[in-house]
Amino acid sequence: MPCRLSKVYTPNMRPPVLDPLFAPVSTLPGIGPKIEKLVSGLVGSQPDRDATVADLLFHIPHSLIDRRHRPGIAYSENGDIVTLDVTIGRHMAPPRHSKAPYRINAYDETGQITFVFFHPRHDWLEKTFPEGERRIVSGKVEWFNERPQMVHPDYSLKPEEAEEMPAIEPVYPLTAGLSSKTLQKAVRAAVDRVPHLPEWLNYAHLHQTGWPDFAEALKTLHAPHERNDIDPASPFMQRLAYDELLASQLALAMVRAHMRTLGGVSRSPKGELQKAVIASLPFQLTGSQAKAIEEINEDLAKPVRMLRLLQGDVGAGKTVVALAALAQVIETGAQGALMAPTEILARQHYASMLPLCEKAGIRLALMTGKDSQKERRLRQEQLDAGEIDLVVGTHALFQGTVTFRNLAMVVVDEQHRFGVHQRLALSAKGNGVDVLVMTATPIPRTLVLTGFGDMDVSRLTDKPAGRKPITTVSVSLDRLDEIIGRVGAAVADGQKVYWVCPLVEESEKIDLAAVEERHRVLEHALRQRVSLVHGRMNADEKDAAMADFKSGATKVLVATTVIEVGVDVPDATIIVIEHAERFGLAQLHQLRGRVGRGDKPSSCVLLYKGPLGETAGARLNIMRQTNDGFLIAEEDLKLRGGGEILGTRQSGTPGFRIARADEHADLMEVARDDARLILELDPDLKTKRGEALRCLLYLFGRDAAIRLLRAG
Ligand code: ADP
Ligand code: MG
């Protein structure tokens, strides 16, 4: 069944009522080509396309300035933003070309103030602040030598123009080179373009919640009447958050329904190959591994597609479960694919599965984006001929050109890095493809819903037997020498050590230098070769470094967070995480999970650079107190909101512009039920409400799902 998921822009399907909202931002006043780039970078929803009016409208202010505060000059406190009703006094203009500021005196009945201007334009100042006239001036007051001043007031208006100044002014997240005045003006024009849209929410639901309609919600958020209008709990924010969640849930439900209609294939092998795989393991399955395999076998036997999430803390042993699942379809003569988020992980899966596959007689191949044309062609021929049973790879696997002779199961590792589109694209390459999604991230229920929709879930709750606990300590970077000394002692004792340095995108160069420097320092101090892995190295270099560490040729591996997910060196017993204060909890937990995989006690050293902020301090404390991934995920949700859990760097919930996993969790469940009911009653979105819901899907960029509806 062909299923095109390339992001073709299909404006003809889009309801025309939305056209004004999908116009580029450059059609708004004050946005020329240069500003357009800045605005697109700031609010754009797609990296390769200019931002639209809708994108700008979803850029919600993060705070407000209340210009109703009019205490009078003498009663204005240092740092307050105030509006003053003043008479303009003397100008003290510096000589032209002088660097000195331009000062203007002004007074009201309570006292005097000085307005201060740097790089002044004399004629403009003379016009805007004419001596002896009354002006309404608004800005931030600062007290300096017991005298109030205001540097570059935000507004100076004639009394009769005072209404031009918003009583409550929205403050937007900005970017360098973009002024808030420019952005505000564009947003005001954008708000004026919001058309009257059909209501997509259920009337009873609206009535019960008292929410405004979509247009009113947007208008109010950009021109708030009250301080708390932009709070996550305000009806305006709730309305939009719900809209966004509903769009997402509806799209996921449509994808799911579509996959079901494509039909599954009932697969009931004898289970010989699965038994062979399990028998070749050098260990006993844990109870929850066995249970997960059982659940998967049941899914496979049913004539509907499997859509299962395999959730398990780091080191819980998901890979084995995946291989057992794949063995079932391979036994029937079909093919399987395992997709990993990074090159390193794909290679590692390949390496760890290879001996098991060889023993069981499964023909395994690796495909990554780094393969040469020739290698790729060869693999393709083998796939077409059915000479490969199982292929492990990276995103290269989605590429439209890769085809399978008979693909029956896709396993996606660390799913949170992939989108629904990619998942679909791969599973569309076969007939009734079963999908198993593995995640090491302990995702709370609400986030499972946002990211995955309504999937069946298997959980690996117990760790493989014999695992020793990990002791976690936090140590100030001031004690670096001492830690290096201890690492040296551990290495002399035959232990293996990970040393992790952060790589933060904004300062990639500096951090790269830092990781290389740490590598040098350690080699020097330990007087031995130390492996190094970072994102700028090519695949061969990375492989070689990892292989050395794995084999024991080197005892210490310095790495940036490329080792964050899945890397498996069971006899590594120490992990040092430098600048631990820069990492999120989920990431720290993932990193710590690199050790404690063997039968020796392990430790994790969180090296921080003080002084610690409150949140960072709390994070390190939690890490010291518990090893329980689910507990950590919940604490993380409390501390920082959902974004961090899914490993994304920006705040807010990934994939969402307005809804937030922490603030709007309750809305999520309602949206899911709403979406389910909608599709039950109106599977093709053909009713009046269905038509309105199509608008909603477009507005929040979830329209790809519309193409999955039956034609006509
Ligand atoms: P993750 O769930 O983090 O992907 P892996 O699948 O990489 O975990 O497994 C981690 C390590 O535990 C591997 O070395 C694997 O061989 C081992 N392992 C998996 N299951 C068991 C088990 N039941 N008993 C002992 N070791 C196991
Ligand atoms: Mg794994």
pLDDT tens digits, one per residue of 430-455: 777 888 988 876 555 555 555 555 57
Distance between CA atoms of 74 and 396, rounded to whole angstroms? Answer: 67
User: Looking at the domain assignment, is residue 657 inside a domain?
Assistant: no
671: which residues sit within 8 A by CB, 6+ positions away?
242, 245, 246, 248, 249
The CATH number covering residue 456 comes to 3.40.50.300
Give pLDDT, residue 637.
64
Residue type for 212, please? Answer: P
Domain termination residue (choose one: 144, 165, 186) = 165
User: Looking at the domain assignment, is residue 257 inside a domain?
Assistant: no
User: Looking at the domain assignment, is residue 671 inside a domain?
Assistant: no
Q: Quote the tokens at residue 268.
A: 């009931």
Which atom of ligand 1 lies closest to the CA of 319? 6
Q: Are residues 454 and 313 in the same domain?
A: yes
Distance between CA atoms of 357 and 363, rounded to whole angstroms? Answer: 7
Which residue lies with its CA nearest to atom 18 of ligand 1? 317
Q: Are residues 595 and 557 in the same domain?
A: yes
| Ligand closest to the CA atom of residue 355 | 1
Q: Are residues 288 and 432 in the same domain?
A: yes
User: Looking at the domain assignment, is residue 279 inside a domain?
Assistant: yes
User: Residue 409: which H helix or E strand, with range?
Assistant: strand 407-413
| Ligand closest to the CA atom of residue 285 | 1
Q: Which of 143, 179, 249, 190 is nearest to 34 (CA)?
A: 179
Q: Are residues 395 and 495 in the same domain?
A: no
Q: DSSP label at 76? A: P
- The Cα-based distances of 236 to 52, 60, 213, 614, 686 in angstroms read 21, 11, 9, 31, 28
| Ligand closest to the CA atom of residue 338 | 2
Top mutation candidate among 278, 280, 283, 602 for ligand 1, by most atoms within 8 Å of CB: 283
Distance between CA atoms of 194 and 123, rounded to whole angstroms? Answer: 39
Which atom of ligand 1 lies closest to the CA of 316? 2
| Average pLDDT of the residues of the chain | 85
Q: What angle do CA 649, 651, 654 make, to 5 degrees?
A: 75
* pTM for the structure as a whole: 0.59
Q: Are residues 456 and 475 in the same domain?
A: no
**Around Cβ 340, how many Cβ atoms within 10 Å?**
26
Q: Are residues 560 and 435 in the same domain?
A: no
User: Residue 327: which H helix or E strand, with range?
Assistant: helix 318-331
Whether the CA torsion 405, 411, 414, 417 is positive or negative: it is positive
Place of tokens 């320092």: 521
**Around Cβ 466, how many Cβ atoms within 10 Å?**
8
Q: Are residues 331 and 431 in the same domain?
A: yes
Distance between CA atoms of 63 and 678, rounded to whole angstroms? Answer: 35
**Rg (the chain; Cα; Å):** 30
Q: Which residues line ligand 1 (CB under 6 A)?
A: 283-286, 289, 312, 314-320, 440, 464, 566, 568, 570, 597
How many angstroms is it from 319 CA to the middle of ligand 1? 7
Domain termination residue (choose one: 460, 486, 515) = 460
Give pLDDT, residue 653.
57
Spatial contact of 225 and 168, defined as CB atoms under 8 Å apart: yes
Q: Which of 596, 364, 357 is nearest to 472 (CA)?
A: 596
Distance between CA atoms of 124 and 130, rounded to whole angstroms? Answer: 10
Spatial contact of 609 and 581, defined as CB atoms under 8 Å apart: yes
Place of tokens 């979509």: 214
Spatial contact of 94 and 102, defined as CB atoms under 8 Å apart: yes
Q: Which of 439, 524, 433 is nearest to 484 (CA)?
A: 524
User: Looking at the domain assignment, is residue 52 inside a domain?
Assistant: no
| Ligand closest to the CA atom of residue 352 | 1
Label the pairing between strands 155-157 and 134-144.
antiparallel
Distance between CA atoms of 424 and 409, rounded to whole angstroms? Answer: 12
Extended strands (E) in 13-166: 63-66, 81-92, 102-107, 112-117, 134-144, 147-151, 155-157
Q: Quote the tokens at residue 179.
A: 């002024």
390: which residues sit within 8 A by CB, 6+ positions away?
326, 330, 335, 336, 337, 338, 353, 357, 362, 363, 364, 365
Q: Quote the tokens at residue 7.
A: 């992001």
Q: Are residues 476 and 438 in the same domain?
A: no
Q: Is the peptide bond before 502 cis (omega within 30 degrees of 0)?
A: no
User: Looking at the domain assignment, is residue 32 inside a domain?
Assistant: no
How many angstroms is it from 492 CA to the middle of ligand 1? 27
Q: SS3 of 265, please?
A: coil
Which atom of ligand 1 lies closest to the CA of 568? 7
Top mutation candidate among 289, 311, 320 for ligand 1, by most atoms within 8 Å of CB: 320
Q: Are residues 451 and 600 in the same domain?
A: no
Q: How far is CA 118 from the centre of its chain?
A: 41
Q: Are residues 82 and 121 in the same domain?
A: yes
- The Cα-based distances of 712 to 73, 261, 428, 684, 709 in angstroms read 68, 16, 22, 9, 9
User: Looking at the domain assignment, is residue 497 inside a domain?
Assistant: yes
The CATH number covering residue 146 comes to 2.40.50.140
How many angstroms is it from 596 CA to the middle of ligand 1? 11
Q: Are residues 436 and 503 in the same domain?
A: no
Q: Quote the tokens at residue 423.
A: 């998942």
Give pLDDT, residue 505.
53
Give pLDDT, residue 266.
82
Label the pairing between strands 63-66 and 168-171.
antiparallel
User: Looking at the domain assignment, is residue 426 inside a domain?
Assistant: yes
Domain termination residue (choose one: 592, 626, 660) = 626
Number of domains in the chain: 3
Give pLDDT, residue 415.
52
Q: Which of 347, 341, 339, 330 is nearest to 405 (CA)?
A: 330
Q: Are residues 316 and 347 in the same domain?
A: yes
pLDDT in tens, 157-181: 999 998 888 889 999 988 888 888 8
Q: What is the DSSP string of 697-708?
A: HHHTT-GGGGGG
Q: Quote the tokens at residue 9.
A: 């822009």
Range of the domain at 482: 470-626
Give pLDDT, residue 9.
39
Spans of the chain below 50 pLDDT? 1-11, 418, 506, 565, 641-652, 711-712
Residue type for 518, please? Answer: R
